[in-house]
Structure 1
Amino acid sequence: MAKIALIGASGNVGSKILAEALNRGHEVTGIVRNPEKLPGHPKLTAVRGDVFDATGLAKLLAGHDAVISAVHYTASDPALLLQAVKASGAKRYLVVGGAGSLEVAPGKALVDTPEFPEIYKEEASKGRDFLNILRDTTDLDWTFLSPSAIIAPGERTGTFRLGRDQLLIGADGQSRISQEDYAVAMIDELEKPAHRQQRFTVGY
């Protein structure tokens, strides 16, 4: 079993990743602004952390096999996150990515289409920036997992498809994944790495 540091463990997606990791028997340190928001669990240690304090964060991440970050791009700084992960000595870094950087046509990202909702544009653009920074990072074992266009609370089915840089569209014409199945794909990747220094995506 792995020792995982999960940054943003109380968020919408972070809480699903936390549940999936604990259900599979991993030890998790949940790093959040408000530790009291995390559930009690024998394999969970809840700690307070600040994503803008690279030195303090590195100390919290030290001693873990892997770091998963599930934080909003508009509420964090990728350079500081990378600095903290590298300084911590953690072997792997898995990032909850966004769908905006996925291609809908050769060379055309979802975030650049006219129908992309304006309200999500800043977050999606910063997510793409983070992915580009990771792609230039050669001294870290990273993985960036983009969800489908729609990611919402739902069922844990364990049945989904994986892709690389193209937006996945289901048989119903929708691009979607439940937060629960997204978490399954993330912990699958943690347990059996198949996308080292790569982005991949998950959808129905």
Structure 2
Amino acid sequence: MKIAIIGITGRVGSRIAAEALRRGHTVTGIARSIDQAKVPAGVQLVQGDATQPEQLAALVRGHDAVVSAAKFSVLKAAPLLQALKSAGVKRLLVVGGAASLEVAPGVILLDSPSFPAEYKSEAVPGKQFLDDLRAETAVDWTFLSPAALLEPGVRTGKFRVGQNQLLADEQGNSRISMEDYAIALLDEIEQPKHIRQRFTVAY
């Protein structure tokens, strides 16, 4: 498949690219500034501003899927969806956050007393992004929320899959490596199971 990744130079975006290349897909990386050293060998890196729908549409046209690993404080859902529709790309996968996951019935992590204030500048627009996607019926979107802790680590291929609730282990730890997160996202691209849905992964 031909996969375009927005936010390719970030820690998660670069690992998604590596997993896609590992599986034999063609990867186009979209970044505001070209820095080949920050992406895996084999990525076709192109310069572009994803917040500009016309510019983004020209870059993603002809791709089978678009992955957005951009910051929610920078890229909103509306221009992204507009660009995909204009380009005729049906499939969108979004690197989500954990803040919108439920920790109790009707209570999301973002609204819990223990949620760190310094994360809210990204978590609040992340929740809004998901809300905006849920109103979208033309694009086949998927929003993949990681566990509470998403860090560089080991590629194991062993993790649990959930829907809208935060997953934690018996000790109360909620974590997933970026490498295993990338596996879950590529699995969803290749064998879609969560069209117009959010899902989550954790150990």
TM-score, with structure 1 as normaliser: 0.96
TM-score where L is the length of structure 2:
0.96
In structure 2, list runs of 5 or more residues that go unmatched: none
2:19 paired with 1:20: yes
| CA distance in 1 between partners of 2:39 and 2:116 (Å) | 33
Look up the match of 1:168.
Answer: 167
Give the distance between the partners of 2:40 and 2:11, measured in 1 at CA: 18
Identity fraction in percent: 55
Matches of 1:99 and 1:39, distance apart in 2? 25
The separation in 2 between residues aligned to 1:19 and 1:189, in whole angstroms, is: 16
Structure 1 residue 96 displacement after superposition: 0.4
Shift in Å, 1:125: 1.1
Q: Secondary structure at the match of 2:73?
A: helix
Task: Name the Cα RMSD after superposition.
Answer: 1.1
Q: Which residue of 2 aligns with 1:178?
A: 177
Counterpart secondary structure, 1:47: strand
Give the 3-state SS of the residue equivalent to 1:75 in structure 2: coil
Quote how far apart the aligned CAs of 1:52 are: 1.8
1:172 Cα deviation after fit: 2.8
Aligned: 1:88 with 2:87: yes
Structure 1 residue ranges without an equivalent (≥5): none
Size of the aligned set, in residue pairs, is 202
1:13-65: CA deviation from partner (whole Å, max 9, x where unpaired): 101101100111100100011222344634x2110010221101000010000
Deviates more, 1:183-192 or 1:82-91: 82-91
CA distance in 1, matches of 2:156, 2:18: 15
* Structure 2 residue 57 is matched with structure 1 residue 41: no
**Whole-angstrom CA distance in 2 between matches of 1:3 and 1:35:** 20
Distance of 2:101 and 2:132 partners within structure 1: 16
Q: Which runs of 4+ in 1 moved over 4 A?
A: none
